[in-house]
Structure 1
Amino acid sequence: MSGGAVASIPEGLLDEGVWFRVEAASTAAAVRRAAERLATELGIPEKDIADLSIVVAEAAGNLVKHADEGIILVRPVRARERAGAEIIVIDKGPGMADVRHSADDGYSTAGTLGIGLGAITRQASWSDIHSVPGRGTVLAAQIWPGGEPEQAWAAGITRPLTGEQVSGDAYAIREVDGRHQVLVVDGLGHGPLANVAALEAVRVFRAAPAVPPAALVETLHRALNHTRGAALAVAELDLGRGVVRYAGLGNISGTIFAPDGSRKGLVSLPGIAGHQKRQIREFDYPLAAESVLLMHSDGIVDRWNAGDYPGLLTHSPQVIAGTVLRDAGVRRDDAGVLVARLS
């Protein structure tokens, strides 16, 4: 996690996303410069870059003024042939009881994103925010040239172990031949070698043919034999048939949250993809409309309780993932979480 100047960010790292701990005005300025650099690399027009600068400056400035343990993720987002810029803003401040009122111009409550929240929602192509008094706020905002595209049905967030620049956790999302599939992977250990294993799994997953999750996990197992290996799981959401198909090896957790408040844990079998497996099995689970699938590495603790966050599961995958990462992520390991929903 960075707190320094943009010049300290290695080339190519912006494409995976860069975290900033925002505690001082100098860091807020560095976040803005990083976002502008990313937008320039993506070929985003100057007018949209100006809007992005306002969004980032307001969000980062408010973390400095009011929030506790404020962090921002700056990263690209892509939809088919288009690219945009996204920020995820997370804090552990006092939170807001009425987010809509806090977005009104002129409204300010110390400890919230209230000041400037209206400017953020106006300048962003798309934004979403959830806040709980006493727990904090998570904001996601995107800038797209040419207007907002259709929002993603799934999104994830990863964060490296404290002191590392790259994460051994990764995720991928794909639609192929009508299949909606997601991958969560945790490279063995942490640091660059774990990152290599995770990114290789992502590459193979994206290039693989349209086959069910168990066959994908088998393909990934064979492909990772030259790496240190990984825990991983693949899920396929089939709303038409009302089912989630799931296959996993190792410590990847999966949970389906149903609209009625019930939850169902998904089964991953013991093993290390690339090195050892007893068997690969695919399990089917009921999937109702508006259900939420949450998958995460063992850098997220399982004691997270959705009931402590009123209304959260109706929000975007980015905001749900950011909230879980904030309150259930552990600092002694890489952490990765993915959220998917089909309406």
Structure 2
Amino acid sequence: MTLTASLTTVLAIDDPSQVGHARRTAHKMAQALGFDENDAGRVALVATELASNLLKHAGQGVLHLRRLVSGQGRAGVELLSIDRGQGFDPVHCMTDGFSTGGTQGIGLGSVVRGAQVFDVHTDSHGSTVLARLYAGGGVDDDLRIGVSQHSLHDDPACGDTWQVALCEGGLSALVIDGLGHGEEAERAAQAGAQAFGQAPFDAPQQVLERMHSAMCGSRGGAVGMAQYTAAEHRLRYLGVGNIGATLVKGDGSRGLASMSGIVGGQYRKAQVFEHADIDSHLLILYSDGLQSRWNLNNYPGLAYRHPAVIAAVLHRDFCRGRDDVTVLVIDLELSHA
């Protein structure tokens, strides 16, 4: 199966009236994805509780919404509440009856019960709470892949795009940043993604040549492409331009090298770098809308959280705010079939 790009919907939560808007937006998204009324109601309830908790405990924050598919192709909705507050004790706050805001103390507990996938990271930088809900119930086929993709100034056109192709025992992942932003950048990125999707498991240089041909005549763009083979614990990476790529394991990380140039324009013959003994690693690919000077070691425990939480925290703290931005985080051990 192939996962394709979907922009993150960002809802500001800094006024009580926005809780209702969050509920309606989440409910509408679930209905559009084919959720029945019961499952769509669960999505609306979780959105309400997350938005309410942002106001009660952090004063303000944002709610991120994104459509998902599971490993078996079921539709899903991802909700992330993100703030810059002082953090909280998640063990106590998930217990019904505990409250720091003078309420009944059932909000976070109801999120845990309503979501099929729940995770949280909280520290002095702020808190991020994840809830994923799938149509029809069940949690065994959640893909441990997280994405935060945003266009500059919420433009409908986004010059960044991504894909992840999954097969038995491996995956092939792509991030493209079309030069600039807006419709022309989006056109360049989409041309490259379409060429990648034709045969994402071909030899990386062959895939790149196909993408280069498809992007000629456009603005061109930067490309980062990784292929992982689980049986061999091997990752191959090919990058042209300023797509960032990092492998993370525990408290250690290593950057993956890219070559200079523009796909669809001019670049020297790209080199494929092979990395052996890759197991229990995170692969993080990101466009240059994200600063590169982040270090997960500054966030104790974050590397062990769900990839969607990691992507959201990196976007919160390192988005440059002057370009489209994409952060793609993949658990290489658990994301493949």
Task: Choose the corresponding residue for 1:336, options 305, 326, 337.
Answer: 326
- Count the aligned residue pairs: 324
Structure 1 position 15, deviation (Å)? 5.7
Aligned to 2:27: 36
TM-score, normalised to structure 1, is 0.88
Shift in CA distance, 288/176, structure 1 to aligned 2, threshold 3 Å: closer
Shift in CA distance, 317/287, structure 1 to aligned 2, threshold 3 Å: farther
Aligned to 2:81: 89
1:293 aligns with 2:276: no
1:251 aligns with 2:242: yes
Aligned to 2:128: 138
> Given that residues 218 and 280 in structure 1 are in contact (C-alpha distance below 8 angstroms), is that contact kept between their aligned partners in structure 2?
no
Task: Choose the corresponding residue for 2:261, options 248, 266, 271.
Answer: 271
- Name the SS for the 2:293 alignment partner: coil
Shift in CA distance, 16/306, structure 1 to aligned 2, threshold 3 Å: closer
Shift in CA distance, 84/219, structure 1 to aligned 2, threshold 3 Å: same
Counterpart code for 1:292: L
1:322 aligns with 2:312: yes
Aligned to 2:44: 53
> Given that residues 171 and 202 in structure 1 are in contact (C-alpha distance below 8 angstroms), is that contact kept between their aligned partners in structure 2?
yes
Task: Choose the corresponding residue for 2:16, options 18, 21, 25.
Answer: 25
Task: Choose the corresponding residue for 1:157, options 138, 144, 148.
Answer: 148
Structure 1 position 209, deviation (Å)? 5.0
Counterpart code for 2:132: Q
Structure 1 position 196, deviation (Å)? 2.6
Cα offsets for 1:131-171 (capped at 9, x unmatched): 11x21111221111222241214222112223534432222
Q: Which has the higher contact order (CA 8 A, sep 6+)?
A: 2
Structure 1 position 192, deviation (Å)? 2.4
1:70 aligns with 2:89: no
- Name the SS for the 1:37 alignment partner: helix
Cα offsets for 1:170-229 (capped at 9, x unmatched): 221111464311111111101222223223333332232521333222221111113221
Give me the identity figure in percent. 35
Counterpart code for 1:85: V
Aligned to 1:309: 299
1:181 aligns with 2:172: yes
Structure 1 residue runs of 4 or more that deviate by more than 3 Å after TM superposition: 14-17, 176-179
Aligned to 1:172: 163
CA RMSD, Structure 1 to Structure 2 (Å) = 2.0
Structure 1 position 281, deviation (Å)? 1.3
Counterpart code for 1:319: V
The whole-number CA distance in structure 1 between the counterparts of 2:15 and 2:157 is 24
Counterpart code for 1:228: R
Show the 5 A alignment for 1:188-199: 188-199=179-190
> Given that residues 216 and 234 in structure 1 are in contact (C-alpha distance below 8 angstroms), is that contact kept between their aligned partners in structure 2?
no
Aligned to 2:98: 107
1:200 aligns with 2:191: yes
> Given that residues 146 and 310 in structure 2 are in contact (C-alpha distance below 8 angstroms), is that contact kept between their aligned partners in structure 1?
no
Between 148-157 and 243-252, report the one with greater CA deviation: 148-157
The whole-number CA distance in structure 2 between the counterparts of 1:118 and 1:340 is 27
Shift in CA distance, 213/67, structure 1 to aligned 2, threshold 3 Å: farther
